[in-house]
Copies of this chain bind each other. A is one copy, B any other.
């Protein structure tokens, strides 16, 4: 699950990628402080490439920065998550239209196979009483891949990138919390793949909209509660969270 499209220099690119996986792997949960200096020391570079990486991550919505006050992994608001859903619904329903309109039999077959596999994984996840975070993340990553496969089949690179951006961002926001898990209907993705493969563009559009918005209201409600709970609480300053990975640990214990 990685964007390449360099556009950035060597060290800056490396810092960007390290930070990105650090965030997406949950080692750097929302609120984690990201000091230019400490990161530079950790990476063995100056602060310049770090600043470039953080600027890009900020533009992509992973990070928020206030001048001379600090940079941290972003805490999304309910409004932003809601907006993300709206934009993603627009992009993915467009991809669904184009897929239904012009996907080759091979692409359709491939999508069906992916959908089947994905549904299997979700089912096996449902069986477990307490699925591990890693297991959930693994399945969700494949979920993203499934949707990107639809977009890729359209042949429109710009659409793929826009959807990936939107998907990955939500992925990160969701997995930063212990979200109550809403099980999906049986054959949820297989049915979608069938709709996209056999239906007209318009019905594919509609099917995708339903798919995208299925868990939306539950999730928004959940986050609204979390937001209310955090009302006026820790508003600024680094969050003293307990984190597992080596990344954040190293970062915290670094002097200077």
Contact = CB atoms under 8 A, between A and B. Distances in A.
Indicate how many identical chains form the complex: 2
A79 B7 contact: no
A39 interface: no
B91 A87 contact: yes
Q: How large is the interface on A (under 10, 10 to 19, 20 to 34, 35 or more residues)?
A: 20 to 34
Which of A79, A82, A154, A156 has the largest number of chain B CB atoms within 10 A? A156
A52 interface: yes
B79 A157 contact: yes
Interface stretch (A18-26, A54-62, A116-124, A172-180): A54-62
A236 B242 CA distance: 51
Nearest to A206: B202
B94 A89 contact: yes
Interface of A: 7-10, 48, 51-52, 55-56, 58-59, 65, 67, 79-80, 82-84, 86-87, 89-91, 93-94, 98, 154, 156-159, 162
